[in-house]
């Protein structure tokens, strides 16, 4: 069996223009390579009204438990200002030890490292006592409604079980091996409308100013100390992202004002508990629940995989391969691990994220190879135990 070159395969994946939610040939390319390694591949396309159809891929090698999962996405964000790129974002060029292109860091480089790690493991040890799976979605960078969440539900319904997972998001700020994400903050968006009664600015006693009510409500929200952080998380934060009244008249008191805010919350809260607290604050600031409307959407609850066997295994692998022991962190944005955490312990670890979503996205060739080595060492550690980490 020919082993897979992580960098060359990452370049192949970059050449597939899989701008979310387009498949772009990326899942096909990945499936061909995995089938050559003996994986059984299942495509899981999903679609629902009002969303774009999305294709996804689940690949499993072996039928026994434990089932070790590598999770990720082949979709990429748009290139943005294409004229600003120094190189073709979909050429997968390798020059001076650097792999260039959209998705190099986020996260085709890591997916190629998954495949190279498995290929190296198999040629060194043969098949493991258990299974290795890849859970790859084409809908992570978009709305993420037809991706990992639905895949996990469909796979669980057909009896698939997962025992441990690494999601290959770019977690390292500056250098490979700096940071493993063992949890993520939750994210909640609130759309707030203040209600009032329109009137003449010269006769404010005859009106009820929605702008003033909004100011009071936002003052209550922005002055709220949600918490002071927890053992593994920084303090939860609230940010107002827009305030809109759009009143063109200087002599009219507005009847309505809108604002949107986002809360990133730690493991001390659920979105439901937060919504109750927000409504209590707003009731007091607005003069009662009849004077405002609030719509809350939670795009993901917070989660934590407490430091344990999986994070130790990964930290040991990092130290063995590149001599650096990563910090276990819960900072930054969210990932599909927020769905996987309901099925098995999950941590995020991938390449250096400095250029993700930017023009001239790129990664060091040596990092892609080292990451493949780390993932391989994780597999070796995992399957050398009689039963893998719980
Ligand atoms: Zn990503």
Per the residue annotation, which of 140, 160, 208, 301 is the catalytic one?
A: 140
Q: CATH 3.30.70.360 residue ranges in the chain?
A: 186-300
**pLDDT exceeds cutoff 60 at 76:** yes
Report the alpha-carbon distance of residue 77 to residue 102 in Å, rounded: 8
What phi and psi, each to the nearest 5 degrees, are found at residue 25?
Answer: 90, -5
What does the pLDDT read at residue 298?
93
**Is 75 considered catalytic here?**
yes
For ligand 1, the distance from its centroid to the CA atom of residue 224, given in whole angstroms, is: 31
CATH topology of domain 6-184+303-384: Aminopeptidase (3.40.630)
Query: What is the per-residue pLDDT across 192-234, written as a single tens digit (0 to 9) for each?
Result: 999 999 999 999 999 999 999 999 999 999 999 999 999 999 9
* pLDDT (tens digit per residue) in 296-320: 999 888 999 999 999 999 999 999 9
Q: What share of the chain is helix, strand, coil (3-state, %, to 5)?
A: 35, 25, 40
Residue in this structure with the two tokens 């979105």, named with its chain if needed = 271
In the reported structure, the alpha carbon of residue 287 is separated from the centroid of ligand 1 by a whole-number distance in angstroms of 43
Could you tell me which CATH class the domain 186-300 is placed in?
alpha beta
Mean pLDDT of the chain, nearest integer: 95
How does pLDDT run across 319-357, given as a tens digit for each residue?
Answer: 999 999 999 999 887 889 999 999 999 999 999 999 999
Over residues 232-244, mean pLDDT? 95
pLDDT for residue 1: 64
Report pLDDT for 52. Answer: 84
How much is the pTM? 0.86
Domain with CATH 3.40.630.10 in the chain: 6-184+303-384
- pLDDT tens digits for 22-47? 999 999 999 999 999 999 999 999 99
178 assigned to active site: no
Whole-angstrom Cα distance, residue 139 to residue 24?
Answer: 12
Give the percent of the chain with pLDDT over 70. 98
pLDDT in tens, 118-138: 999 999 999 999 999 999 999
Q: How confident is the model at residue 385 (pLDDT cuts 50, 70, 90)?
A: low
Give distance in angstroms: CA of 142 to centre of ligand 1: 10
Query: Residues 287, 278, 217, 281: what is their CA dihedral angle, to the nearest 10 degrees?
Result: 50
| Phi, psi values for residue 104, rounded to 5° | -55, -45
């Amino acid at each position: 069996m020919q082993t897979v070159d992580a960098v060359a395969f990452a370049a192949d994946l970059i050449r597939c223009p899989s701008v979310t939610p387009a498949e772009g040939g990326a899942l096909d390319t990945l499936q061909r390579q995995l089938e050559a390694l003996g994986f059984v591949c299942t495509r899981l396309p999903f679609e629902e009204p009002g969303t774009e159809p999305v294709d996804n891929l689940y690949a499993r090698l072996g039928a026994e438990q434990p089932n070790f999962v590598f999770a990720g996405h082949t979709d990429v964000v748009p290139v943005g200002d294409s004229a600003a790129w120094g190189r073709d974002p979909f050429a997968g060029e390798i020059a001076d030890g650097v792999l260039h292109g959209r998705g190099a860091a986020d996260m085709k480089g890591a997916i190629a490292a998954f495949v190279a790690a498995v290929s190296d493991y198999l040629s060194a040890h043969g098949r493991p006592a258990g299974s290795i799976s890849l859970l790859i979605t084409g809908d992570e960078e978009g709305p993420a409604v037809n991706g990992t969440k639905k895949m996990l539900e469909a796979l669980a319904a057909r009896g698939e079980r997962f025992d441990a997972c690494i999601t290959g998001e770019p977690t390292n700020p500056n250098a490979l091996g700096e940071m493993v994400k063992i949890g993520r903050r939750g994210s909640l968006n609130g759309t707030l409308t203040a209600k009032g009664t329109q009137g003449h600015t010269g006769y404010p006693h005859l009106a009820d100013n929605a702008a003033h009510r909004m100011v009071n409500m936002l003052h209550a929200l922005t002055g709220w100390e949600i918490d002071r952080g927890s053992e593994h998380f920084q303090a939860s934060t609230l940010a107002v992202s827009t305030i809109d009244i759009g009143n063109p008249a200087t002599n009219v008191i507005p009847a309505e004002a809108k604002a949107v805010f986002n809360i990133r919350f730690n493991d001390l809260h659920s979105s439901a508990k937060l919504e109750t607290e927000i409504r209590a604050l707003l009731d007091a600031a607005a003069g009662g629940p009849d004077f405002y409307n609030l719509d809350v959407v939670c795009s993901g609850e917070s989660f934590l995989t407490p430091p344990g066997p999986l994070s130790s295994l990964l930290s040991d692998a990092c130290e063995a391969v590149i001599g650096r022991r990563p910090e276990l962190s819960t900072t930054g944005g969210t990932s599909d691990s927020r769905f996987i955490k309901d099925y098995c312990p999950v941590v995020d670890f991938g390449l250096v994220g400095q250029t993700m979503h930017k023009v001239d996205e790129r990664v060091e060739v040596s990092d892609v190879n080292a990451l493949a080595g780390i993932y391989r060492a994780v597999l070796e550690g995992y399957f050398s135990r009689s039963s893998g980490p719980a």
